Amino acid sequence: MPRNTINIPDKIEYLSILNEKGELDAGLEPDIPEELLLKLHRALLLSRKFDERLLNLQRQGRIGTFPPINGQEAAQLGAVALLRPSDWMVPAFRETAAEIWRGRSLESVIIYNNGYSEGAEIPQDLNNLPISVPVGSQILHAVGLGWAAKYRQTDDVAMTFFGDGATSEGDFHEGLNFAGVFQAPVIFVCQNNHWAISLPVAKQTRSKTLAQKALAYGMPGIQVDGNDILAVYAAAKEAVDRARADQGPTLIECVTYRMAVHTTADDPKRYRTEKEVDKWRKRDPIVRFQKYLVDKGLLSEDKIAGIESEVLEVIQAAVDGAEEKMKALGDPIDMFEHAYAEMPAYLKEQKEAFVTEVAEMTEEGDHG
Amino acid sequence: MPRNTINIPDKIEYLSILNEKGELDAGLEPDIPEELLLKLHRALLLSRKFDERLLNLQRQGRIGTFPPINGQEAAQLGAVALLRPSDWMVPAFRETAAEIWRGRSLESVIIYNNGYSEGAEIPQDLNNLPISVPVGSQILHAVGLGWAAKYRQTDDVAMTFFGDGATSEGDFHEGLNFAGVFQAPVIFVCQNNHWAISLPVAKQTRSKTLAQKALAYGMPGIQVDGNDILAVYAAAKEAVDRARADQGPTLIECVTYRMAVHTTADDPKRYRTEKEVDKWRKRDPIVRFQKYLVDKGLLSEDKIAGIESEVLEVIQAAVDGAEEKMKALGDPIDMFEHAYAEMPAYLKEQKEAFVTEVAEMTEEGDHG
Amino acid sequence: MAKMTMVQALNLALKQEMAKDDSVIVLGEDVGVDGGVFRVTDGLINQFGQDRVLDTPLAESGIVGMSIGMAVYGLKPVCEIQFSGFSYQNFHQIENHAARLRLRSRGRYNVPMVLRTPYGGGVRALEHHSESRETFWAHMPGIKMVIPSGPRNARALLVSAIRDPDPVIFYESKALYRAFREEVPEEEETMPIGKPRIAQEGKDLTLISYGAMMRPTLEAAAGLKEKDGVEAEVIDLLTVSPLDDEIFVQSVLKTGRAVVIHEAPRSFGPGAEIVSRLMEKAFYYLEVPIERVTGYDIIIPLFSREKAYLPNAQRIIRAARKALSN
Amino acid sequence: MAKMTMVQALNLALKQEMAKDDSVIVLGEDVGVDGGVFRVTDGLINQFGQDRVLDTPLAESGIVGMSIGMAVYGLKPVCEIQFSGFSYQNFHQIENHAARLRLRSRGRYNVPMVLRTPYGGGVRALEHHSESRETFWAHMPGIKMVIPSGPRNARALLVSAIRDPDPVIFYESKALYRAFREEVPEEEETMPIGKPRIAQEGKDLTLISYGAMMRPTLEAAAGLKEKDGVEAEVIDLLTVSPLDDEIFVQSVLKTGRAVVIHEAPRSFGPGAEIVSRLMEKAFYYLEVPIERVTGYDIIIPLFSREKAYLPNAQRIIRAARKALSN
Ligand SMILES: Cc1ncc(C[n+]2csc(CCOP(=O)(O)OP(=O)(O)O)c2C)c(N)n1
Ligand SMILES: Cc1ncc(C[n+]2csc(CCOP(=O)(O)OP(=O)(O)O)c2C)c(N)n1
Ligand SMILES: [Mg+2]
Ligand SMILES: [Mg+2]
């Protein structure tokens, strides 16, 4: 075959189940128990309302900079819903909805966003990794975790989240390649929210889709409507099932949109139009899913209103709780902890010097 | 389209023109002037013989560790033949044939392999980068060079070489992605010689081909028989033409084989069989090309013998020349040069101290 | 002369050098349309177009590796790494290549690039956004490591860095970006790379610092003057590496006492080298041991506790008094 | 007890720890079938299978990032980076994560991994194969930086490093790999990480070094004894960071004179921190300035000139005589 097209074993598909109006493609409807559907719906609402509240708190100066998730709730929850507690969840920094689903308390989110490391502490019974700020770097940790779960002969999997921007980092490449080679049970969930701060995805890569990058690693890749929680769920289910059955990793590209600022330090007016945002407003993942649930007879306007006020109460309690808890935090001496299992001698000296210094300065009332 | 296969614009092809027996697929024969064909043939022979001589010198302890190229001559020369002097050639460390084609002297290769940086010096009129040892890292330099050539409105291109192993490095990924986004005129030549030291390419990646990795960057990728210099040339020509016409980068995978050791410090018996090597011996790129040229009436056994003895003389002269030149090298004081454009004060002090020390130690005859 | 913040002064430097020399190219994440997350590159893309100001994909090794190629070609890339905490992603490109291409090619090629990156604490930022790790770069032969301390010298040093034939890592203190304004002349101004300056003359004690820490250092000097009648000589390194020790050695030969201040972690930090130079060149003039006032040997804590980590005027005064006590 | 090279001793440590604890996993480039380019992992894949000994793709960040994930899970990855000159490719994984996951998770997770990598000059290797840049790791809070100096302590320290709950960068001197043999007991032996040792007692002068430089240092000590009748106390750091200064400070309190020796470039090198600790803790006992015998502030030259770059016994003796001359 002197000049022939090479037949690549994997193909890249696009999946959408609820269309933009919330209408169902019944042939593709995933089999999700009613209880789970309702749990997902509440989680969507809670995440949305909590995000709005955080923005509000930030504007009031009651928390620091944070990355809102508005618009991306379905992409996160549809995927993470497939995990068991013993599975591993490896987030980037914009996965608040997924983290909450996985048991992270709202209080801890507020505390972390106030610059207290206490807010990043992970309860012993949750296999979540803390937030990872360096873009793409956490992807490799998921590969190690997934590999380890397989080595220990469990059928646990690791699911890691990252953005469209992260696909440009070397660590994305090395991570997916390692996962392919070692057939690690990892689900790579890319939230293509169209922007990496000010860079549109079209300038992030010349690849037509992000999903097709899977072809470079000999793994299946799928692009789904990330604002369609049923599609995300269906794709994630296939991927998780494969991973549990030791059939290797999958790359899922959830096409979604970052409705709000990149972080509260960002001004999106500098790089995108309101018109574009409006277009995506019509594709709201919550509205669509609600319509589906109402059509299914599982929800009504009243019930939705009831859930809304319930989650608002939960959020208010978390804000109050966090603000109460933070009163007890802030002793800077804490910063010397957790560097190593045992504190090295020279660091002990530094800590002691710090304590003396603070004490003496308070005594002297000397402020320079 | 709720669940549909995505149509990826680029396709991946395989190209072979001279088969293993050296028989031509006439319909694909590239249009190469006779003079160039003969020049390529001599370059193939020279590279092979020089490589053999280097191995010999190394075994005699007359040079240090080096990476032989035996078997990969066509993959290098077929591609580099497309370049003009003003184009940029960015090698890894196993591109001796390509470097010689681009004007690097045999002497400099010997001198470099004896641990003298003088051997890496590049004449002012050659746009070659020196050897790059950190795998994959040079790929990005080619992107910068290609971009710069385009920015300066030339139609020069950059061609970079790397191995199958290099495709796993993050820099490969970042480099190809940048080239795609900026449509830099770069030709990425991957010499898939089946091994990265002891790792076979099948364990390097689960991707069926390396060429298909181009799909992740929205650029054309092609796999060619790397032991078929006509196929390499044809593929490189298409790529170089596209790049000059500002139509962006290309990934070329040359399927070839490292016939010898990884470097002279390596023992391939630990990881591969003689049988595998034998299989590839039958696909020798020089034998095939010679048959083609003989069939074409451009060469005869006699002529080949004549060229062989001519290149052997050239090589002998280079060995003699290098050994003569090296007598004048080795003054360690040279190591203080070329750190910065101007030597910093503290380094001057160190250099002076070094000079004094050497002088005094020689004087004292003190050796500890 | 206009009064400018450091952000404005750096922007001026870029604007003028780009106008003057079309080989100057700015690239990095969000440096174009967005004008940089701190707005240092604001407006450049409008003035010079997207061939001169490249919004790159999100890949630091890519940015630096591509810059190296451009620089070898003869351009003068000024790349931005969004925070110094993410410059480790491109560490190998600097160590393996930027630092070595001149040496490797025996002078045939050089790498006239600048890597600008915000460093240091004090602006209540997220994890990885407040580090100070100039030692990493300072310990790389072939690299220059520059840290300005105010708008005017930032502008002048950036111009010099762009024109410098060798690779320069240019740390910009986030805490200084908008902290204060200085007169910055519209006319071109440069400053020699590799030369510290005497920020304030004095005879009793030498305070050696650079970058953001110059502010608490000068504040401490003022406090010492006011309360203790002590005249501190204050040295601003400006270039951390190659470290020129002449000025601070001369100063300590005169004062016999010194305090070194930086926000980087103490152990194996820049202060250690300064102390060692003084050990070598001023030992017999030292009245007392040199004090180090530095960050602690921990990762700088999240923002609610970062103030406790960062050296401040009180800590410097305490150390100075100790150095003056014998 | 068998006489072993350092390669054999390290291999023994790996073999025994792997046999004892199935959470120990070896991974890296060519560590399996090939047994490692220096044969340190020789035979492990045959004994433990390819689930325990992973030949990875060629990607250092991949190796280290995956190791971090394994370590968080509770395994004890021992990864090999083929040469320390290629460990900058994974620098960010160490700085951004290995060093911080304990802190970030407030102790919920830790990263009990070991990164083994050959460092240093003296074996006539290619560019990037002879560096000595322990400062980079020593300046990272959260990381431990260990460098053995001979077969026996290499074996014991590697066992301790594997069992250590925190990430350890483990530099192995290529020059020592096969340089000499030592008795290495078959029975388990560990050594505390973070504790230097007195390699030789003495009263006149303190020589402080580690790793490959221990050989010329001890040679110099012998020369000083023989020719000058000087009794040098020789300290072998073993752990460069966290740097425990007690032993060498005690020694200098006694001798009043010290020479620090390392092959890393001088400026901002490990010697600077040692000098600074002595400045802080032994200043009043110092008779003369501390001398540094180090690599120069350049990239180590290609192999034909590397000997001139590396400190040797003569240079150490010269510095010692200077330190003894006052
Ligand atoms: C390695 C690294 N480089 C740069 C940054 C600064 N930064 C934070 S988020 C971001 C954009 C991320 O884009 P994407 O991956 O699409 O995620 P999104 O923010 O859209 O969720 C950048 C550049 C970082 N955190 N880490
Ligand atoms: C970043 C880096 N890691 C590891 C090495 C050590 N090393 C040198 S060559 C090589 C294998 C390279 O394989 P490949 O890219 O296929 O090139 P080939 O040697 O087959 O020409 C390795 C691991 C290196 N030089 N650089
Ligand atoms: Mg995004
Ligand atoms: Mg190869």
Q: Is A152 a catalytic residue?
A: no
What's the pLDDT tens digit per position in B74-118?
A: 999 999 999 999 999 999 999 999 999 999 999 999 999 999 999
Residue D145 with chain A: CB contacts under 8 Å: none
Only one residue has tokens 């979604």, namely A256
Instruction: List phi, psi (to 5°) of D54.
Output: -105, 115
Least CA distance to A340: which residue of chain C? C298
* Ligand (nearest to CA of B72): 2
Q: Average pLDDT of chain B?
A: 96
Ligand 1: does its nearest atom lie under 6 Å from the Cβ of C62?
Answer: no
What's the pLDDT tens digit per position in B146-168?
A: 999 999 999 999 999 999 999 99
**CA angle at residue B99 from D130 to B327, to 5 degrees?**
60
What's the pLDDT tens digit per position in D263-291?
A: 999 999 999 999 999 999 999 999 999 99
What average pLDDT does range B44-69 have in this prediction? 97
Asked if pLDDT for residue B329 goes beyond 90, the answer is yes
How far apart CA C210 and CA C197 sit, in angstroms, is: 10
Yes or no: say if C146 and C157 are a contact pair by the CB < 8 Å rule: yes
How far apart CA A323 and CA D233 sit, in angstroms, is: 58
Instruction: List phi, psi (to 5°) of C159.
Output: -60, -45
Largest CA distance in chain A: 87
Provide the shortest C-alpha distance from residue A131 to chain B (in Å): 22
Q: Name, in order, each residue with C-beta under 8 angstroms of B335's C-beta and a sequence gap of 6 or more.
A: D296, D298, D301, D305, D308, D309
The percentage of residues in chain B with a pLDDT greater than 90, rounded to a whole number, is 93
pLDDT band for position C326 (cuts 50, 70, 90): confident
How far apart CA B250 and CA B240 sit, in angstroms, is: 8
Provide the shortest C-alpha distance from residue D91 to chain C (in Å): 6
pLDDT band for position B123 (cuts 50, 70, 90): confident
The pLDDT assigned to C75 comes to: 98
A247 Cβ under 8 Å from any chain B Cβ: no
What average pLDDT does range B333-358 have in this prediction? 97
Edge-to-edge strands, sheet with D144-146: D53-55, D24-28, D76-80, D114-119, D168-173, D144-146, D239-241
The pLDDT assigned to D32 comes to: 98
- CA dist D317 to D223, D267, D325, Å? 8, 21, 12
Superfamily covering domain D2-184: Thiamin diphosphate (ThDP)-binding fold, Pyr/PP domains (3.40.50.970)
Nearest to B332 among D59, D125, D308 (CB): D308
Cis peptide bond N-terminal to D242, omega within 30: yes
DSSP D107-172: TS-----EEEEEE-S-S---TTSS---HHHHHTSTT-EEE---SHHHHHHHHHHHHH-SS-EEEEE
What average pLDDT does range A173-186 have in this prediction? 98
- pTM to 2 decimals? 0.98
The pLDDT assigned to A365 comes to: 61
The pLDDT assigned to B1 comes to: 56
The percentage of residues in chain A with a pLDDT greater than 90, rounded to a whole number, is 93
How far apart CA C158 and CA C170 sit, in angstroms, is: 8
What average pLDDT does range B10-15 have in this prediction? 92
Q: Name, in order, each residue with C-beta under 8 angstroms of B131's C-beta and a sequence gap of 6 or more.
A: B91, B92, B93, B95, B99, B112, B120, D127
How far apart CA B215 and CA B209 sit, in angstroms, is: 11
Q: What is the number of other CB atoms lying within 10 angstroms of the CB of residue D33?
A: 18
Measured from the Cα of C29, ligand 1's closest atom is 23
Residue D54 with chain A: CB contacts under 8 Å: 182
The percentage of residues in chain B with a pLDDT greater than 70, rounded to a whole number, is 98
Largest CA distance in chain C: 61
Structure tokens at B55: 């191995």
Asked if pLDDT for residue B365 goes beyond 80, the answer is no
Provide the shortest C-alpha distance from residue D221 to chain A (in Å): 29
Nearest to A144 among D67, D141, D164 (CB): D67
The pLDDT assigned to A1 comes to: 56
What average pLDDT does range A75-95 have in this prediction? 98
Provide the shortest C-alpha distance from residue A201 to chain B (in Å): 11
A341 Cβ under 8 Å from any chain D Cβ: yes
The pLDDT assigned to C1 comes to: 79
Mutate to test the interface with D, among C240, C279, C291 (most CBs of D within 10 A): C279
- The residues with which D115 forms a beta bridge, in sequence order, are D79, D169
Yes or no: say if A334 and D96 are a contact pair by the CB < 8 Å rule: no
- Sign of the dihedral defined by the CA atoms of residues D210, D215, D217, D221, in that order: positive
Measured from the Cα of B167, ligand 2's closest atom is 15
Ligand 2: does its nearest atom lie under 6 Å from the Cβ of D149?
Answer: no
- The neighbours of chain C, by the rule of 3 or more Cβ pairs under 8 Å, are A, B, D
Q: Name, in order, each residue with C-beta under 8 angstroms of D232's C-beta and a sequence gap of 6 or more.
A: D200, D202, D204, D205, D206, D207, D220, D221, D224, D225, D320
Crossing angle between the packed helical segments B73-80 and B285-295, to the nearest 10 degrees: 60
The pLDDT assigned to A92 comes to: 98
Structure tokens at A197: 């701060």
Partner-chain contact B148 C75, CB within 8 Å:
yes
The pLDDT assigned to A330 comes to: 86
Q: Is this prediction's ipTM beyond 0.95?
A: yes
Partner-chain contact C124 A115, CB within 8 Å:
yes
pLDDT band for position C191 (cuts 50, 70, 90): very high
Secondary structure of chain A in HEC code, one letter for each residue: CCEEECCCCCCEEEECCECCCCCECHHHCCCCCHHHHHHHHHHHHHHHHHHHHHHHHHHCCCCCCCCCCCCCHHHHHHHHCCCCCCCEEECCCCCHHHHHHCCCCHHHHHHHCCCCHHHHCCCCCCCECCCCCCCCCCHHHHHHHHHHHHHCCCCCCEEEEEECHHHHCHHHHHHHHHHHHHCCCEEEEEEECCEECCEEHHHHCCCCCCHHHHHHHCCCEEEEECCCHHHHHHHHHHHHHHHHCCCCCEEEEEECCCCCCCCCCCCHHHCCCHHHHHHHHCCCHHHHHHHHHHHCCCCCHHHHHHHHHHHHHHHHHHHHHHHHHHHCCCCHHHHHCCCCCCCCHHHHHHHHHHHHHHHHHHHHCCCC
Ligand 2: does its nearest atom lie under 6 Å from the Cβ of B165?
Answer: yes
pLDDT band for position D120 (cuts 50, 70, 90): very high
Mutation test residue for ligand 2: of D82, D89, D90, D128, the one with most atoms within 8 Å of CB: D82
The pLDDT assigned to C149 comes to: 98
Structure tokens at A337: 């902890």
pLDDT band for position B367 (cuts 50, 70, 90): very low
The domains spanning C2-184 and C197-324 adopt the same CATH topology: yes
- E strands, chain C, are 2-4, 24-28, 53-55, 76-80, 114-119, 144-146, 168-173, 182-184, 197-200, 205-209, 232-236, 239-241, 258-265, 291-295
The pLDDT assigned to B362 comes to: 79
How far apart CA D17 and CA D24 sit, in angstroms, is: 7
Residue B177 with chain A: CB contacts under 8 Å: 168, 205-206
Asked if pLDDT for residue A367 goes beyond 70, the answer is no
The pLDDT assigned to B368 comes to: 38
Q: Average pLDDT of chain A?
A: 96
- The residues with which D241 forms a beta bridge, in sequence order, are D145
Q: Is C262 a catalytic residue?
A: no
Residue C265 with chain D: CB contacts under 8 Å: 139, 141
**Strand C24-28 relative to strand C53-55, pairing:** parallel
Ligand 2: does its nearest atom lie under 6 Å from the Cβ of B164?
Answer: yes
CA of B287 from ligand 4 middle (Å) equals 22
- The residues with which B5 forms a beta bridge, in sequence order, are A13
Q: Average pLDDT of chain D?
A: 98
Least confident of A2-16, A267-281, A288-302, C72-86: A2-16
Partner-chain contact C128 D297, CB within 8 Å:
no
Only one residue has tokens 């987030």, namely A91
How far apart CA C266 and CA C294 sit, in angstroms, is: 5
How far apart CA C50 and CA B285 sit, in angstroms, is: 45
Q: Name, in order, each residue with C-beta under 8 angstroms of C191's C-beta and a sequence gap of 6 or more.
A: C153, C156, C157, C160, C238
Architecture of domain D197-324: 3-Layer(aba) Sandwich (3.40)
Crossing angle between the packed helical segments D60-73 and A139-151, to the nearest 10 degrees: 50
pLDDT band for position C91 (cuts 50, 70, 90): very high
Ligand 1: does its nearest atom lie under 6 Å from the Cβ of A185?
Answer: no
Ligand 2: does its nearest atom lie under 6 Å from the Cβ of B200?
Answer: no
Partner-chain contact D77 A142, CB within 8 Å:
no
What's the pLDDT tens digit per position in A294-308?
A: 999 999 999 999 999
| Element housing B195 (H / E) | strand B195-196
| Element housing B322 (H / E) | helix B301-327
Secondary structure of residue D27 in the 3-state scheme:
strand
What's the pLDDT tens digit per position in B223-267?
A: 999 999 999 999 999 999 999 999 999 999 999 999 999 999 999
Instruction: List phi, psi (to 5°) of A143.
Output: -65, -45
